[in-house]
Structure 1
Amino acid sequence: MVFQGSTYLGLLKGSQAVSRQLPPAIREEIRVILRDVNYNVPRNDGCASLRRELGDSIGQSPEHILVFGSSSDPFRDLALSMRGAKVLMPWGCGGAAEVFASLGFDVISVPLTYDGKFSFPIESFLDEWSSARPDVVYLDIPNDPTGLSLSKDDLIMLSLFCGNSLWLIDQRYAEFSIQDELDLKYLFDRWQGKKGLGIIRSLSFAWGLGAMDISYMVWDHRGGEAVKFPSSNKIESPRGEILTHLVRRCYGWMESRTYSCRYIRDEFAKGCSKIPGIEVYQGDGPFLLLGFNDQVWSQVADLFTQRDWTIPIEVPNINSPFVQVFATSEEALSSLLKDILLVTGDHHVETEEGVKAAIA
């Protein structure tokens, strides 16, 4: 039986886009799988092999891993069990507030504090939790768009006070963190919550599988049995076979890729920090946040509207313009930095040597 449905065609397109980023040897393996997989009959095995590979890579039992075919599926599933529930989150959760609101949740947002840098207001967050008693607490670590992270001790302290809420910790950018990766076993072993704890991760970012939009969740359902995720573990072969192979073969490559993104981001930040009128806010994650005074923004605004990896951000209670910049490639960020320097009056950067001198 030849598998030629829309699922396969989408898989083929996504896999080809992904494979262009991979080392040649792995790219050839993927090409062979794509050739052979066309003759496989799709089947649903509960993503057993994929969950096993993911479990091995992050040190968790496969029975605690739920795989989703879309990054929005966990939220849609949660809405089936908890529609209209209260969700407490910090500001700036990468569109999560809009997603929760669109699904009928009552969203309560606690602004991050800002005094020249962003910080997480733990006391204000706990005060809001005490008064609102939310059904769900959502945190993204690192935070999108600020890159702000929390320590393991901070999370444990929060969990002691928020034990009656279901917790979702979104770690889509965890592999890009310059800090030690959050120890999942440490957190689960010390978790005091009476409802479920879900830690969401993504294959779309660190693993370079953006074309496939795959996420997974480590789910501790102690006390949270009433919450169901019916869309989980439904990825059929051959899509599941390719994902399993990528996870098995690409872990080392993924680490080098995330290191490369951090290096590119840091070099770009170094250059921007030397331009008067631009403030660089850099935390964890494959992105940084740029703030501008009005004069510089009037000069550079058009540069950021021409690129789909630079995103204007509105910061609550702050009138200054901000832009989130993703570390897409060295060439892209070098070109952007050169353009910024040129329009702000530094004409010594018309050559590659000039750009390097500006960064040095």
Structure 2
Amino acid sequence: MSDPAPTCTAGMPWQDRSRPAEARSLPVRACVRAMRAYEPPLEERTGIRLDFNENTRGCSPTVLAAIRSMDGRDIAQYPSYRALLTTISRTHGLDIASVLLTNGADDALRVIMDACVSAGDTILLLSPSFSVYQTYASLREAVVRWVPYEDSFAFPFTSLQDALRSQSPRLCIIANPNNPTGTTITPQALLGLTAANPATLFIIDEAYADFSGQTCLSLPRPENMFIIRSLSKSYGLAGLRLGFLVAAPAIATQLRKAASPYAVNVMAVKAGIAALEDRQYLRSSVKEVIENRSWLRAQLGVRGIHSYPSEANFLLVSNSAIGRRRVSDILSSRGIRTRRFPELGCIRVTIGTAQECEMICLALDGRDSRGAPDAGTLLFDLDGTLIDISASYWEAIRQTVTQFTGRI
């Protein structure tokens, strides 16, 4: 991170430079052909899955009960959204007219960009951040400019202010907390940025906000601010793809024109209502993540492994060497999946349960789940406790005496 990320047009960081000639003849837009496909998690991932920031505790039991209560008629009918919108509005104190349901937070990004960004518009992104921002910018044929995080991954507030003034972008996307760094900026500072740059639209991605306790939802929102929320992380509904965006009511009305009328399925609706109403489960889940995050970071430090401060449900960890092996390789060999960021020299580790965090430490210490040394570990006892060295010891004495005295 010592060098600023390059200023570039959309698509360049993920550009596929090995396009075969036949690809250029396909009836697909050039900006799509130039993109590198997103690499999703491997099918049937096994082991301890700490690579995609999922809630490893699972969803609330009330969510499962709500899903089991469904019958064939529920599945056969198109969903009704009024109950879920009302629950979201009540939970967060929002005007129901300002809320738009989306098929996950990614869909919220697409809706906003489809409605508000034209080819050639400038989009300001921070680096590193969520790669899907770049994907949707490329699809809109926008021009992307980058603001790099500081070497410590602290929020680059001054650099961002300068870029907003000099670039006058159509859109600026800020994840708060940021993925993969876990960095945050106060809601008040974000409101200051939007007020100082009224011609720029701001998307505030709050997918991980429940873990930081900071949100713009409770503050007066200017018309140039969009807030994106997800129920994938803290609520444990990643498999159902449920999110929502919040905008000024007049703007939300226009955004609905760019959204699919039935983007959220009926099962996600039922689950979302149950999840939002179980506030106790959310509080306990978030509390556990925060406690485990603090514990794991301290344990990594004890082992000489650097990690960065985080306000999300993950840690960005230096992929340093322990002996001859990298941290990522050690964990992988024990079935612990992490997300690698080789350009940062780091891995991102989801904060799982207390047991899963303990498994990380045992793996780094070369111990199994019972705390015993791994099978196959060689122990050498130079005192002869485990190895009888008496024969070689006396032979060494005999040869030494012979060399210096000429006698045996």
Q: In which range does the TM-score fall when normalised by the shorter chain?
A: 0.7 to 0.9
Contact 2:341 2:348 in 1 (8 A): yes
SS in 1 for 2:239: coil
The answer to whether the aligner puts 1:284 opposite 2:316 as a matched pair is no
Partner of 2:125: 89
Change (3 A) 1:251 1:224: closer
Measured in 2, the distance between the counterparts of 1:105 and 1:264 equals 40
Please say if 1:196 is aligned against 2:224: yes
Note if 1:76 corresponds to 2:104. Answer: no
Moved more, 205-214 or 99-108: 99-108
Q: State the TM-score, normalizing by the size of structure 2.
A: 0.69
Distance in 1, Cα, partners of 2:92 & 2:170: 28
Tell me whether 1:184 sits opposite 2:214 in the alignment.
no
On the 8 A contact 1:152/1:187 being kept in 2, the answer is no
Cα deviation code 1:55-88 (max 9, x no counterpart):
1111101111110124322232234332322111
Partner in structure 1 of residue 87 of structure 2: 53
What amino acid does structure 2 have at the position aligned with 1:99? Answer: T
Amino acid across the alignment from 1:72: D
TM-score by length of 1: 0.77
Q: Helix, strand or coil: the match of 1:88?
A: strand
Q: Give the C-alpha shift of residue 151 in structure 1.
A: 1.0
Looking at structure 2, the residues matched to 298 and 237 of structure 1 have their Cα atoms a distance apart, in angstroms, of 45
**Aligned-pair RMSD on alpha carbons?**
3.1
* Conservation of the 8 A alpha-carbon contact between 1:142 and 1:284: yes
- List runs of 5+ in structure 1 lacking aligned partners: 1-16, 355-360
Distance apart, 1:229 and its partner CA:
5.2
Q: 1:300 to 1:249 in 2, by over 3 A?
A: same
Identity of aligned residues (%): 18
Residue segments in structure 2 that go unaligned for 5+ positions in a row:
1-53, 374-408
Q: Which amino acid aligns with 1:80?
A: D
Residue aligning to 2:329: 302
- 1:132-147 to 2 correspondence within 5 Å? 132-147=167-182
Q: Is the 8 A contact 2:319 2:326 kept in 1?
A: no
**d(CA) in 1 for partners of 2:249 and 2:63?**
38
Counterpart-to-counterpart distance in 2, 1:157 and 1:29: 43
1:207 is paired with a residue of what secondary structure? coil
Q: Match for residue 174 of structure 1?
A: 209
Alignment pair present for 1:273 and 2:308: no
SS of the residue corresponding to residue 21 of structure 1 reads: coil
Residue 111 (1) aligns with residue 148 (2): yes
Verify the 8 A CA contact 1:291 1:322 in the aligned structure 2: yes
Whether the aligned pair in 2 keeps the contact of 1:141 and 1:169 (CA below 8 Å) is: yes
Paired residues for 1:308-319 under 5 Å: 309-314=337-342
1:333 maps onto 2:357 in alignment: yes
**1:242 corresponds to which letter in structure 2?**
K
Whichever residue aligns with residue 185 of structure 2, its letter is L
- Please report how far the alpha carbon of residue 246 of structure 1 lies from its aligned counterpart in structure 2 after TM superposition: 1.6
- How many Å separate the matches in 1 of 2:329 and 2:269? 44
Higher relative contact order (CA 8 A, sep 6+): 2
Task: Provide the C-alpha distance between the structure 1 equivalents of 2:113 and 2:157, rounded to a whole number of angstroms.
Answer: 27
Displacement after TM superposition at 1:90 (Å):
1.3
Contact 2:137 2:144 in 1 (8 A): yes
Q: How does 1:231-242 map to 2 (within 5 A)?
A: 231=259, 234-235=262-263, 238-239=266-267, 241-242=269-270
